[in-house]
Every structure is written in structure tokens, then in C-alpha cells.
Amino acid sequence: MSSRIAFVGVGRMGANMARRLKDCGYSITAVFDLHLPLAQSLGRELGALCAQSLAEVTANADVIFTVVTDDAAMREIFTSPGDNLLQGSAGRVFINCATLSPQIHREIETLAKAAGAASLEASMASSISHAREGKLYLMLGGEAAVYEQVLPILEKMSVNRRYIGAAGRAAEVKALVNMVMNINTAGLAEGLGLAQALGHDLEMVREVFSQTGANSRVLETDGPDMCAREHDCWFSAAHAAKDSGIAAGLARAVGLDLPLNAATAAQYQKMVSLGLGELDKSGIAELTFQGRHA
């Protein structure tokens, strides 16, 4: 409990992870977000410093969680000239939780080591409520000794963990998870869209799906929202597009053709181009149901 913990990126996931650790008795000493009102509000709530710079975050913490949008944002917070997290970072541990490319995790680990710090990837496959309740599923990558060092903190955040291996390996598995999830979501949207066009009762169709080979986790989480057009964001279409793109890049690197992933990525990119990127991923049904955005 003696570790001072900070968060960089305090949107829906980051803020609720911080709240959870505060509830567990950890000291949340600093928060930082480019959207300053988010950091100010959370800082007041948790009694944490609303840091004005990244270097200030590092100076006030032993363990720093990062939850940022993409590779570019990750590279920015660790390498930006004049202000970055690696300034004065000797002895610190960075736990990086966003869904990013495997390569950026390897880059950050190398940079952290050179600065006398350590880096661990902690890819999350859970929702906002899981973050708040300490019920995350975490896929971990990096040096095993670093994982063991911060394991007591991770145990308070998660109900299940899987240490996968060296830096980048957890990010590879997370890309696979989101690729398959996104394909399943797109497939469900097409099935329900066609059922509607044929005049079937969608509640009946969902019940039949649940008892047959059409069943899936997204049938439970996204099916009702697709039918009711309720797309409050838990996992955005924009993030789905990004993550399917990461999987596509991994496939290209090993010479594999993944046509289902390509089609799914194209659908989510279409949502972004139509201005629907901040809808939940269930909003892909807006492209498949008659009379909607398509």
C-alpha cells in the first residue's frame, strides 16, 4: 500500500481504475489528462494532484498507469521534447493499459530501461463497470520480474490475469481478442438486420440465436442495444476500427489474408466517416438495419 500511484489518461476507464485503487487503500497522488477538466474533477475527488506536466506526474509517483488513445499518443507522452514521463523516471514502473500495437510497447520498454525505469503492458478486456469494481481481465506483457513487483496492485484491479510473455506479446493477444469480438459484433448486426428486413420478431430471433450455433458473448451485450438503437458508448466504433486495423497490420507482417477482419474494419471505418465513431460498437447495426444510416 506504500506505492504512490498516478494515472495519465483519466477518461472512463482510467478514472474508474483510479477510483478502485483509492477504495483499496492506495494513495493516488497525481492525475493528468489533456482534457484538463477531467483531471481537475478527478483530482478533487481523490485528493490527488492535478499535474500540469508529465514530468510532474513522474516526480509524484512510484507506479504510473497510462491509458491513452493510440500509438501516437503513447509515443508523445514518453518522448515529447521538453516534457515527458521518462524525465526523472529512474526506479519508476509504468503500466500501460491501452490497446496499442505490439511495437510501441517494445519501444517504450526499451526507452524505460534506458532511463532506469520499468514498463509493463496490461491490456484490458473488460468494460467500465469492471474497472470500477476491480473485475478487469488483464493480459500482461513485459519482464516477469516487473509483473511480480506490481502484482499486488494488479490483483486489486482484476479478477483474472494472464501473464503472456515478453513486451508486445500481450498486445498481440489483445488484438486477436478485439478482432474476433468486432467480427462477431458485425456478424450479429447483419443477422439481426436481415431478420428485421424479413419481418421476424427480433426478440424471438435473439432467443433462437442464444440456443444455437449463432450464440456469442456479443449477442448478450450488444443484441438488445442493436434492436433498440441504444448505442451509449462503452467501447466506441472508432476504437473498434483502430483495433481491427492493428490486427490487420499483424496479419500483413506474417503474410496472412484475413478477409473477415478486413470487411469488419471497413464497416467500422465507414461509421467513423459517417460521424458515428463515438457510438458504441453496437452502432454498427446502423449500417445493416433497413431505414437507418446506411
Question: Per residue in 114-124, pLDDT tens?
Answer: 999 999 999 99
Residue 294 lies in a domain: no
Residue 286 clears pLDDT 70, i.e. is over it: yes
Domain boundary among 130, 148, 167: 167
Domain boundary among 167, 193, 214: 167
Domain holding 126, by residue range, is: 4-167
Residues 184 and 158 in one domain: no
Residues 102 and 163 in one domain: yes
Over range 116-141, report the average pLDDT: 94
Residue 106 lies in a domain: yes
Over range 96-103, report the average pLDDT: 94
Residues 38 and 157 in one domain: yes
In sequence order, what DSSP letters do the residues of 68-127 get, joined into one string? Answer: -SSHHHHHHHHH-TT--TTTT-TT-EEEE-S---HHHHHHHHHHHHHTT-EEEEEEE-S-
Q: Between 105 and 99, name the one with better pLDDT.
A: 105
User: How many domains does the chain contain in total?
Assistant: 2
User: Count of residues for the chain?
Assistant: 294
What pLDDT is recorded for position 123? 94
Residues 45 and 114 in one domain: yes
What pLDDT is recorded for position 16? 96
Residues 267 and 163 in one domain: no
Question: If you ran DSSP here, which 8-state letter would residue 211 be given?
Answer: T
Predicted confidence (pLDDT) per residue in 154-193, tens digit: 999 999 999 999 999 999 999 999 999 999 999 999 999 9
Residue 235 clears pLDDT 80, i.e. is over it: yes
Over range 109-113, report the average pLDDT: 98
Residue 267 lies in a domain: yes
Q: What is the CATH number of the domain that holds 111?
A: 3.40.50.720
Residues 47 and 116 in one domain: yes
What pLDDT is recorded for position 126? 79
Tell me how far apart the alpha carbons of residues 248 and 53 are, in angstroms, rounded to a whole number. Answer: 35
What pLDDT is recorded for position 1? 53
What pLDDT is recorded for position 294? 54
Residue 15 clears pLDDT 90, i.e. is over it: yes
Residues 34 and 135 in one domain: yes
Average pLDDT value over all residues in the chain: 96
Predicted confidence (pLDDT) per residue in 39-78, tens digit: 999 999 999 999 999 999 999 999 999 999 899 999 999 9
Residues 64 and 26 in one domain: yes
Question: If you ran DSSP here, which 8-state letter would residue 27 be given?
Answer: E
Residues 44 and 132 in one domain: yes
Residue 95 lies in a domain: yes
Domain boundary among 167, 182, 205: 167
Residue 293 lies in a domain: no
Tell me how far apart the alpha carbons of residues 42 and 180 are, in angstroms, rounded to a whole number. Answer: 34
Residues 91 and 12 in one domain: yes
Phi then psi dihedrals of residue 198, to 5 deg = -85, -5
Q: What is the CATH number of the domain that holds 281?
A: 1.10.1040.10
Residue 96 lies in a domain: yes
Over range 250-279, report the average pLDDT: 97
Residue 127 lies in a domain: yes
Residue 274 clears pLDDT 90, i.e. is over it: yes
The helix (H) or strand (E) run that includes residue 165 is strand 158-165
Tell me how far apart the alpha carbons of residues 137 and 131 are, in angstroms, rounded to a whole number. Answer: 9
State what percent of residues in the chain have pLDDT above 70.
Answer: 99
Residue 218 lies in a domain: yes
Rg of the chain (C-alpha set): 20
Residues 95 and 27 in one domain: yes
Residue 234 clears pLDDT 90, i.e. is over it: no
Over range 237-265, report the average pLDDT: 97
Residues 132 and 235 in one domain: no
